[in-house]
């Protein structure tokens, strides 16, 4: 099957099967499968943490060529319990992916993800390189203290109104420590205050995701209470814990997976996951391919981002690698 002429998306399709997978006595994960059961296995690793896998991500892959696996990480979207930070770490999410892969009887899969999904994809690959066919990563985020601080304070240089809206409802004496101020409300006893804080956090992230700001899209996205609550609670929890990673861990351990194919699709004006991280990975990973999309920010909904991701999955289905031919039409790096 071919995507639409501009590689916007493949046609909508329903999941062939879905399920809830218990991974311990507390957490149960939503998972689904669509596409060709005999096709190339591909797993989509969503962002957030806590964002969940929206059904439109099925349309990023040729359903005739790929066995498409989507799932929601611990406490995200349709997984239960929603927004629960107990027993929720990067290492446990990595282990969950292995449980899911083995449950589905998959030998190796192509690992794809965006934003926080790139962080988890790299951590997973470095722990289980034998389970990976390769990687397609969009908007690389390495979880470093610099990136976390930039999200909380640095993005105001590019989106001053969004940042002001993010902090204006906080008492002035709490605005110098935004993370603590939000944690106080996100993990307090007042359910309404928890939801309000989660929504403010989510809207800030969404407002800074698009190169061309669209308040209508932000408001529409913020109507999904499950995604808002999961993202709003898990984002700051993981920030506080440095994403459960050592500083520079993911770049330092790239040698474990550098023999595998990698395509990076990076918005040239991404402020949530600034391009520097993508370039660091590209430099450390010999043979990797980096596409800079010059007219895009962070959001996967931006046409240039989506087009390049689909180009990557289309190229992989034919060649099962990425090389100089896949680099055609890339922006400057």
54 classed as catalytic: no
* Residue 8 contacts residue 15 (beta carbons within 8 Å): no
**DSSP secondary structure letter of residue 295:** T
Residue 60's closest CA among 113, 134, 109? 113
Q: How far apart are CA 159 and CA 155, in angstroms?
A: 6
Q: How far apart are CA 153 and CA 312, in angstroms?
A: 33
Say which of 62, 96, 235, 270 is annotated catalytic. Answer: 270
* Residue 26 contacts residue 81 (beta carbons within 8 Å): yes
173 classed as catalytic: no
Say which of 34, 115, 121, 299 is annotated catalytic. Answer: 115
Q: Is the peptide bond before 49 cis (omega within 30 degrees of 0)?
A: yes
Q: How far apart are CA 128 and CA 130, in angstroms?
A: 5
270 classed as catalytic: yes
Residues 6+ apart with CB under 8 A from 318: none
Which pair of structure tokens corresponds to residue 293?
Answer: 């999309």
* Residue 7 contacts residue 309 (beta carbons within 8 Å): no
Phi, psi (5° rounding) for residue 93?
Answer: -65, -40
The β-bridge partners of 31 are 19, 71
Q: How far apart are CA 203 and CA 231, in angstroms?
A: 10
Kind of pairing, strands 66-71 and 28-35? antiparallel
* Residue 20 contacts residue 77 (beta carbons within 8 Å): no
User: What is the C-alpha end-to-end distance of the chain, expressed in Å?
Assistant: 32
Which pair of structure tokens corresponds to residue 11?
Answer: 């046609």
Say which of 72, 269, 298, 299 is annotated catalytic. Answer: 298
**Which residues are part of the catalytic machinery?**
115, 270, 298
């Amino acid at each position: 099957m071919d995507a639409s002429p501009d590689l916007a998306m493949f046609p909508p399709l329903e999941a062939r099967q879905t399920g809830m997978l218990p991974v311990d006595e507390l957490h149960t994960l939503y998972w689904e499968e669509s596409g060709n059961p005999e096709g190339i296995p591909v797993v989509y690793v969503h962002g957030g943490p806590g964002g969940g896998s929206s059904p439109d991500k099925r349309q990023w892959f040729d359903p005739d060529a790929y066995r498409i696996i989507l799932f929601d990480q611990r406490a995200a979207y349709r997984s239960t319990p929603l927004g629960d930070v107990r027993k929720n770490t990067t290492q446990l999410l990595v282990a969950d992916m292995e449980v899911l892969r083995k449950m589905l009887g998959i030998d190796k899969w192509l690992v794809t993800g965006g934003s926080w999904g790139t962080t988890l994809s790299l951590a997973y690959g470095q722990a289980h390189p034998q389970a990976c066919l390769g990687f397609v990563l969009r908007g690389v985020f390495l979880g470093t203290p610099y990136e976390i601080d930039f999200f909380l304070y640095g993005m105001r240089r590019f989106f001053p109104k969004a940042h002001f809206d993010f902090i204006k409802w906080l008492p002035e004496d709490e605005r110098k420590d935004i993370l603590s101020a939000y944690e106080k409300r996100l993990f307090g006893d007042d359910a309404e205050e928890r939801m309000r804080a989660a929504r403010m956090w989510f809207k800030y992230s969404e407002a800074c995701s698009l190169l061309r700001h669209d308040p209508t899209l932000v408001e529409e996205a913020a109507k999904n209470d499950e995604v808002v609550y999961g993202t709003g609670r898990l984002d700051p929890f993981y920030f506080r814990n440095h994403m459960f990673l050592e500083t520079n861990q993911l770049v330092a351990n790239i040698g474990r997976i550098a023999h595998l194919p990698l395509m990076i699709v990076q918005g040239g004006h991404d402020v949530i996951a600034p391009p520097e991280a993508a370039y660091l990975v590209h430099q450390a990973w010999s043979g990797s391919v980096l596409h800079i999309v010059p007219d895009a920010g962070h959001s996967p909904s931006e046409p240039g981002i989506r087009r390049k991701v689909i180009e990557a999955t289309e190229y992989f289905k034919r060649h099962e690698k990425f090389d100089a031919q896949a680099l055609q039409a890339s922006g400057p790096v």
